[in-house]
Structure 1
Amino acid sequence: MNKPNILLIQTDQQTAETLSLYGNTALATPALEALAERGVVFEQAFCNYPACAPSRSSMFTGRYCSTLNLHANHMLINPAEVTLPQVLKNHGYQTAIIGKNHAFMDKQPSIYPGGVPDNPALLREAFDYVRLADHGHMVDGFRDDPGAQAAHAWAVEHCWSSPLGHGTNPAPIEKCGTYLLGETMLDYLDHVRNVEKPFFTWLSFPDPHTPYQVPEPYASLIRPEDVPMPPVDTLEGKPERVKVAHLMDAMDKADEALIRQVRAIHYGMIRFIDDTLAKIFARMEELGLWDNTVIIFTSDHGDSMGAHGIIQKHNFFYDSFTHVPFVMSVPGYEGSKRTSNLLELIDIMPTLLELAEIPVPPGCQGKSHVPFLRGDASYIPREYVVMESGEHGDPVKVSDITLRPEHPFDERYFVWCAYSDAWIGKGKAIRTNDWKLCVYANGEGELYDLKADPHELHNRFDDPAQAAVRIELERKLLLWSMEKEDRLPLNNTVNLSMQSMREKYDVN
């Protein structure tokens, strides 16, 4: 076996700034810090859509959501698409998913027309081994366990429906989802994997997404007073959709003390994951797998956690939603431990396939970073990243609000990001290391000088002094849109070409 094993570790709804690797002073994550010592931290990695299903679907196809026709959460991968686990499986890999899916369908839906292809991108066709997990504490293989059921019921009852519901789950650690996923992964390594094949495993933790809750000792691990807080955003000059989200999640009723408490629980959930990874990494070393396994740690999108007066995820593009952690360990890597090179999650597919020496499928729109990892002087970093979000239509206005939570623990109306209305109103954003431009279909826009204003507080979209910057970024976004229009299907209908003439007349 000369191809590397691949372990793709993904959390759900975790912003890069939650980790010490990105400057967080309150939370230590020793396992991830050790992983970074064996590899490289991409300081500027971004999701391509600030919601679970579209982000994961882009990641596993290497194609943008506008190409995939995925424009809302819960729209999953068209079975006719070609996905990373399918390609790896076709080239001899044993494929496994352990954890949250929210990308692959179990059966062909009616939402996509056409017949089922010969090798469809369906969950149980793409993965040889499937052990799924839900938000809370339900994990395949443990769903009938009374302790796990009790942990899940407490999480749902106390911390699921209200915007800022959070708490200490009274269940023992051994009955909680993160622990059970760790045990499932250990069992896979010990008893399930085919030692005659390389493996590709997607270890997908549903945390630290809502419900915001965790057992002890993690619930009390971080003192709220030690939690770093984002600066207050007055929302002056911000698009109306931001103000709608602020009201619909009752964040106008949340004080700093409450937000600190939620952030502390969020951090505890992350440390629980890190301790679980430490056990997995140790077992991999015991089994002699560490030196032939590519490991990536990332998240599908962020959680604003109070930044911009918002909680969770929403239909706009602040770094608190889109800037994700990205740590990559590659056997034999000897390069820099950190890089500011821009990276998008759609880059995962071509990067991993090139490392496995497998051709990248036609239509893949991501960029391989293997030349960087190998120290190739010809490597050209991305000039910018692009993010997309939203569905067609006019977004909700403040004047449209007739029902809303009265306080952050009001469970009557559920969280705003779960509403279809919250994602009405298409937008695209282009981000360099210095500037970010967000353009929305209803004419609103945002422009941020990231060097002078890293927290994205002062919108310069209508500032005449920055008109040249705005025009330049709009032009880049227009050219990107033309370049990234779908290349599939390939045109094989015309046989006459300059190359065919050269071959006919033997002209070099």
Structure 2
Amino acid sequence: MHQPNLLLIQTDQQTAETLSLYGNPALSTPALEALAQRGVVFEQAFCNYPACSPSRSSMFTGRYCSTLNLHANHMLINPAEVTLPQVLKQHGYQTAIIGKNHAFMNEKEDTYYPGGVPDQASTLHEVFDYVRLAEHGHMVDGYRDDPDAKLAHEWAVKHCWSSPLGHGTNPAPKEKCGTYLLGETMVDYLEHVRDEAKPFFTWLSFPDPHTPYQAPEPYASLIDPADVPMPPVDTLDNKPERVKVAHLMDAMDTADEALIRRVRAIHYGMIRFIDDTLAKVFAKMDELGLTDNTVVIFTSDHGDSMGAHGIIQKHNFFYDSFNHVPFIMSAPGYAGPKRTPHPVELVDVMPTLLELAGIPVPPGCQGRSLAPFLQGDPSYTPREFIVIESGEHGEPVKVSDITLRPEHPFDERYFVWCAYLDAWLGKGKAIRTKDWKLCVYASGEGELYDLQQDPHELCNRFDDPACAEIHTSLERKLMQWMMEKEDRLPLNKTVKLSMQSMREKYQTQL
């Protein structure tokens, strides 16, 4: 079979539990449910860093953020790194980005890494043949001068951007909003722009349902807040101080249940808007005869706590509410189970797509290909655990350090805490198995959760003597993982003598 087309659909800041496919009773997403019917839902998929740029950068290099030395949301991929679209382009694919970037430097001159930029650089316009960008709100390339799209964008920024829990109904018609315009751009690309002589790789990257939390009708009022499932209340007893700081700095101590329900309902409406847009994209693929030879992945870069643990958006710690992401995949000829509990990390995307395209995986790639599972290889063994990283070097903020903070969730003098440099000070790593999660922070604090008995991660057992054995076992696994994942680049090509070379020499003399 000739090389398949590759379509990577990514939303921004969407937790797996927002979808009916992951048990949400309030939100139907027919397009994604149809995708799952011809593919597979990975029930246990996780980002490798709970913020946009590090997560996306790890996904597009197949390398962990600590390997990339990319440890904060202001950093982008080192242009010297080898990336997925770069490799695909070198092997004959037409590459396209439609939507939000926040991973690739726009120009070589933008680099802040020492040593200059190589000729074969992973910068935006070097690795993508077709670039149509979009930002949070409603600005999309090709429509930036549209007066109605401008009004939609200005309303979103003015009313729903500057305060921690700003949200609302955008008065613009849906046809002038970013999600719709990205769908139009994607359909136009499929029908008029793509080179039919080449397979395509397209990153369709929606900036929603990230803030600003707003949507046009009919999506803004699609979900009744009374029907929205709510997480259990976390008292934050025995939780790391950084969790308590985030709770206060996002004014969540002043947010009641009714407000959180309204924000969650808007968030769900934004997701349904994306789903309806994907229905049009999938219909166009059917019409053009592309579906049967296209690998499709739907995922998100990280989640949004949406009130769980008294937190909004994402933060520098490791609850499932902002690390557990949707991961739905369809591949030509797939005939396996419709759901699987096999653990997946976003770092696995690059090797998976390259192997399905018949392209060698570059040295230094640290992800694990899912292609053997998708192809029914009986020798495939799933991961035993997943690892998530977060944080910059530095001393994390303490509750006693807080002198200025929002007085209420609509206080426009302050932005959400996760946008502040200070919020990401203090490194941490988490290891998660099916049954347990251990989080270790450079400050000496930690968290340990029995996920079978405490799936909402409310009772921290980090210092519980009854859990000492599992605590030690997970720490040992994490330490072994850290040694295993240490970068193997550059490859050692200077030493020619090895036991294998001696064996080969001896065998030729026989």
CA distance in 2, matches of 1:431, 1:56: 20
Partner SS, residue 357 of structure 1 = coil
Measured after TM superposition, the shift of residue 471 of structure 1 is: 0.2
Matches within 5 A, 1:123-202: 123-202=124-203
Report the AA paired with residue 423 of structure 2.
A
Measured after TM superposition, the shift of residue 499 of structure 1 is: 2.4
Matches within 5 A, 1:65-464: 65-108=65-108, 109-464=110-465
Report the AA paired with residue 28 of structure 1.
S
CA distance in 2, matches of 1:229, 1:36: 25
Measured after TM superposition, the shift of residue 503 of structure 1 is: 3.3
Report the AA paired with residue 5 of structure 2.
N
CA distance in 2, matches of 1:229, 1:504: 67
Contact 2:78 2:111 (C-alpha < 8 Å) held by counterparts: no
CA distance in 2, matches of 1:243, 1:419: 16
Measured after TM superposition, the shift of residue 388 of structure 1 is: 0.1
Match of 1:25?
Answer: 25
Match of 1:54?
Answer: 54
CA distance in 1, matches of 2:186, 2:111: 34
Query: Residue by residue, what CA displacement relative to the aligned partner does 1:58-117 show, whole Å, maximum 9, x if unpaired?
Result: 000000000000000020000000000000000000000000000000123342111221
CA distance in 2, matches of 1:468, 1:382: 21
Measured after TM superposition, the shift of residue 374 of structure 1 is: 1.3
Measured after TM superposition, the shift of residue 375 of structure 1 is: 1.4
Measured after TM superposition, the shift of residue 504 of structure 1 is: 3.1
Match of 1:45?
Answer: 45
Report the AA paired with residue 167 of structure 1.
G
Contact 2:234 2:309 (C-alpha < 8 Å) held by counterparts: yes
Report the AA paired with residue 186 of structure 1.
V
CA distance in 2, matches of 1:102, 1:333: 32
Aligned-residue Cα RMSD (Å) equals 0.8
Partner SS, residue 505 of structure 1 = helix
Partner SS, residue 506 of structure 1 = helix
Match of 1:482?
Answer: 483
For structure 2, list consecutive stretches of 5 or more residues without a partner in the other structure.
none
Contact 2:111 2:117 (C-alpha < 8 Å) held by counterparts: no
CA distance in 2, matches of 1:111, 1:236: 41
The more displaced of 496-505 and 47-56 is 496-505
Report the AA paired with residue 281 of structure 1.
F
Query: Residue by residue, what CA displacement relative to the aligned partner does 1:357-387 show, whole Å, maximum 9, x if unpaired?
Result: 1000000000011111111110010000000
CA distance in 2, matches of 1:95, 1:325: 24
CA distance in 1, matches of 2:6, 2:506: 47
For structure 1, list consecutive stretches of 5 or more residues without a partner in the other structure.
none
Contact 2:38 2:330 (C-alpha < 8 Å) held by counterparts: yes
Moved over 6 A (4+): none
Partner SS, residue 341 of structure 1 = coil
Query: Residue by residue, what CA displacement relative to the aligned partner does 1:121-154 show, whole Å, maximum 9, x if unpaired?
Result: 0000010000000000000000011000000000
CA distance in 1, matches of 2:378, 2:493: 36
CA distance in 1, matches of 2:50, 2:303: 7
CA distance in 1, matches of 2:356, 2:364: 19
Partner SS, residue 44 of structure 2 = strand
CA distance in 1, matches of 2:123, 2:330: 29
Query: Is the alpha carbon distance of 1:118 and 1:332 closer, same or farther for their aligned partners in structure 2, counting shifts above 3 Å?
Result: same
TM-score (norm 2): 0.99
TM-score (norm 1): 0.99
